[in-house]
Amino acid sequence: MQITGNTILITGGGSGIGRGLAEAFHQRGNQVIISGRRQSALDEVIAANPGMVGYTVDMADKADVADFASRVVAAHPALNAVINNAGIMVDEDVIGGDYLNIAEDTVATNLLGPIRLIAALLPHFRRQPKAAVLTVSSGLAFVPKASTPTYSATKAAIHSYSQSLRYLLRNTEVEVIEIAPPYVQTFLQGAHQANDPNAMPLDAYLAETMELLARAVGGEILVERVKPLRFATETGNAQAVFDFINPR
C-alpha cells in the first residue's frame, strides 16, 4: 500500500489503534480524516495533530453512515482510502440471558457499519487512480474469546468479507487489506486492557503495522504477536490456543 500522499478516512479515530494509525499516517504527509461518536474525542486528536479533520458518525445507524459518507466525499474529493476501524467489544452474560442488546449493537457497529460504509464509498474509490479499503479484524476472528462471542463472530465475518471483497475487486485499482491486531494495550475493554503487561504495547504494534503496510499489496497485515491465533488451525494448535484464551 502507498502510505504517503493519500486522503484517508479512519473510523474510530478518536482513541486506541484508530488514533494511533491516524497519527502515523498524518506524520507521513497524508490528509487524515477521523470519525467517531464523540466530538470531544475527535477534537482532542485534531488539536494534537493540526491539519486533521473530524466527523461524528454512529456506525450502527444505517442512515447516518450513508449521510456521513456523502459529506466526506463531497468535502474531500481526493479521498482514496478508508480504514474501517470503529468497533465495540463488550462481555456478554449468555448464562444470565441479558445480552441480546449487546449482541445486536455489536453486529450493527462491527459488521454492518463497515459493510455499509464500504458500499457507500466504493463507487467513488473506483473512480480514483489508486484506492484502498482496509478492514480491521482481530486475532479473535480465528480463535474466539468466549466471553465476547458476538465480537469474535463479527471479526470472523469481517475476515471472510475481506477475502471475498479482495477477490471481487482483484481486477480493479482498489486494494483490499485486512489488519488483524492481537491483544493490544488500548481501552477497548477498559483500563485493565490498557495496562495489561500481557497485551502488546500500542506503540510497538503501530510501528510494526506501519512497516508491514508499506510493503503490503493486498492481503493481511499480521504482526508476529497475532500469528499464533491466525494460524492456530493450520499448526494444529487451535484447541491449545482456545484453552489459553479461555481458561477453564
Residue 232 · residue 238 · CB < 8 Å: yes
Q: Which positions are annotated as active-site residues?
A: 151
Residue 30 · residue 4 · CB < 8 Å: yes
- Of 138, 142, 84, nearest to 113 by C-alpha is 84
- Using the 8-state DSSP alphabet, how is residue 201 labeled? P
- Give bridge partners of residue 7 from the DSSP assignment: 31
- Of 140, 217, 232, 215, nearest to 181 by C-alpha is 140
Cell representation of residue 178: 485486512
- Going through the chain in order, the beta strands assigned E by DSSP cover 7-11, 31-36, 53-56, 81-84, 131-136, 174-179, 219-221
Largest distance between two CA atoms of the chain: 52
Cell representation of residue 58: 454512529
